[in-house]
A = this chain, B = another copy of it.
Amino acid sequence: MNTDFASIITIGDELLIGQVVDTNSAWMAKELNKIGIPIRHRIAVGDVWDDIWYALDEESKHSKIIFITGGLGPTSDDITKPLLCKYFNGKLRLDEETFAHVKHLFINVLKRPMIDLNVRQAEVPDTCTVLRNDIGTAPGMMFEKEGKIFISLPGVPHEMKWIMSNVVLPMLPSKVKTTNIQHKTLLTAGIGESFLAELINEEEEALPSHIKLAFLPNSGMVRLRLTGSGSDEKLLSTEINRHFEALKKKVIDYLVIDEDLPLHNLIGRLLKDRGKTVSTAESCTGGYLAHLITSVPGASAYYRGSVISYDNSIKMSVLDVPESILDKFGAVSEETVILMAKKVNEIMHTDFSVAVSGIMGPDGGTVEKPVGKVWIAIANNEKVVTKSFDFRYNRERNIDLTAINALNMLRIAICG
């Protein structure tokens, strides 16, 4: 296929000692894919001169565009700029436009005096094209060498995203041969990866070589993704749709949604479409369920609020769970989550409510109720549906699985 590929090189010791998780690469890959630039490699190297140099050599052998993020800060552990200057045979010069912008930031926004280090941020190799950064002090830089394009961006996520969205992505299609890449994703629940594979075996075998199927298990659910590439956009779209519909038909009993949409966004859409509202009463998830719901822009249209009754005294005082119920059945019980769900629905005047209570670990488990034991209740104004789970993983995963399963029960309740 006659396509230009890209590589992403992320720079920083912190990536190699596990101090930070690299979210930049995933975001960049997604955006580049959208405009038809596939990624061949993503590589992380430390703040080591020879390793960065070698990575530039190596990636430019295989890819047309090489993205470099990180190492552009004002401090001395950031060696990317001097290295790029040398790699592309340049000399540092003060970029007047960048300098004016840095000055403006200090005078009008930060309202602090500039220091020498800040002035140096406006210096760039004279062999680069400056990619302006309206929201930070370190500009991006573009170099071209032997037919390859090198784009260096700051590692601070919101600055990198700003330069990509406003400067780089609009410019790229005129500089490289893009290919037509199409994805279609569906989300299933209640079936394991291998059973799903068996179920759709026939549909998978029928796929042509330019359409690939991927299984993506996450939080107890499995996404199926078809990815196709081809020169004829319309033909490809027709083909992918046909195979996607066949897949959908086969997994219909487990289908959550036929788009690449997180469950909490789907919940938002379902509630909005129906003009319904929801509230939550959380114990063990400690706000994570509410956080997922409210991470969606516009959530205030359907989400009223939550009572996080982490301590049993709050279950009694705010959610009116009688002490006798807690004594007899415990905080992690069907009886308790039913009362929590009913009460929060009443307090918040909502159409639906979700209540969760469980033992997330690492401590607090007993023989009868081990770590990972969870009760979930979904109430509307007519009835309450409950379900119990035994996750038995670590704290982080138990919290995640509890929230995702609660959202999935809510989805089923909303859809009736």
Contacts and interface: CB of A to CB of B under 8 A. Distances in A.
A416 interface: no
A348 to B, nearest CB: 6
B310 A303 contact: yes
A291 interface: yes
Contact of A76 (B75, B192, B195, B204): B204
A260 to B, nearest CB: 8
A300 B227 CA distance: 45
A305 B298 contact: no
A44 B42 contact: yes
Nearest to A197: B75
A56 B223 CA distance: 28
Interface in A118-144: 118, 121, 137
Contact of A215 (B21, B73, B213): B73
Given A18-B28, A43-B44, A193-B74, A299 B308 contact: no
A314 interface: yes
Contacts of A21: 21-23, 26
A13 B44 contact: no
Contact of A306 (B39, B43, B158, B306): B306
B193 A75 contact: yes
Interface in A30-53: 30-31, 33, 38-47, 51
B297 A286 contact: no
Given A74-B194, A198-B117, A216 B20 contact: yes
A362 interface: yes
A147 B194 CA distance: 36
A297 B363 contact: yes
A100 interface: no
A208 interface: no
A213 B77 CA distance: 7
A304 B311 contact: yes
A167 interface: no
A214 B48 CA distance: 13
B305 A295 contact: no
Contacts of A74: 193-194, 197
A412 interface: no
A290 B311 CA distance: 13
A366 interface: no
A227 B13 contact: yes
B347 A317 contact: yes
A29 B10 CA distance: 15
Interface in A1-24: 12-23
11 contacts: A20-B218, A39-B46, A74-B193, A287-B306, A294-B308, A295-B396, A297-B395, A300-B310, A305-B308, A306-B308, A314-B348
Closest 7 CB pairs of A and B: A286-B294, A18-B30, A287-B290, A287-B287, A18-B29, A306-B308, A42-B44
